[in-house]
């Protein structure tokens, strides 16, 4: 298992790039000619509230 402490910090622009030519965080980048946006998996969270069944709301069947 690799330690996260020893891992070099990558520039923010380079961390979003698909290419392997990553620069360290100490370097100031304004733009990069090799920049290709890396697609990321988006995660959507849905909240589902289940309604409780209330006996007063059900239709009552009347017997004749």
The domain limits of the chain are 1-34
What are the pLDDT tens digits along the chain (64 aa)? 555 677 789 998 888 888 999 999 998 888 889 988 888 888 888 877 776 666 555 555 556 5
Beta bridge partners of 24: 10
C-alpha torsion 23→20→7→27, nearest 10: 0
Phi and psi of 23, rounded to 5°? -105, 155
Distance of alpha carbon 30 from alpha carbon 55, whole angstroms:
64
Distance of alpha carbon 16 from alpha carbon 25, whole angstroms:
13
How distant is the alpha carbon of residue 55 from its chain centre?
41
């Amino acid at each position: 298992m690799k330690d996260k402490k020893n891992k070099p910090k990558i520039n923010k622009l380079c961390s979003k790039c698909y290419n392997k030519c990553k620069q360290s965080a100490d370097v100031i980048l304004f733009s990069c000619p090799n920049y290709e946006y890396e697609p990321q998996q988006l995660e959507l969270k849905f909240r589902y509230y289940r309604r409780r069944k209330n006996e007063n709301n059900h239709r009552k069947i009347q017997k004749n």
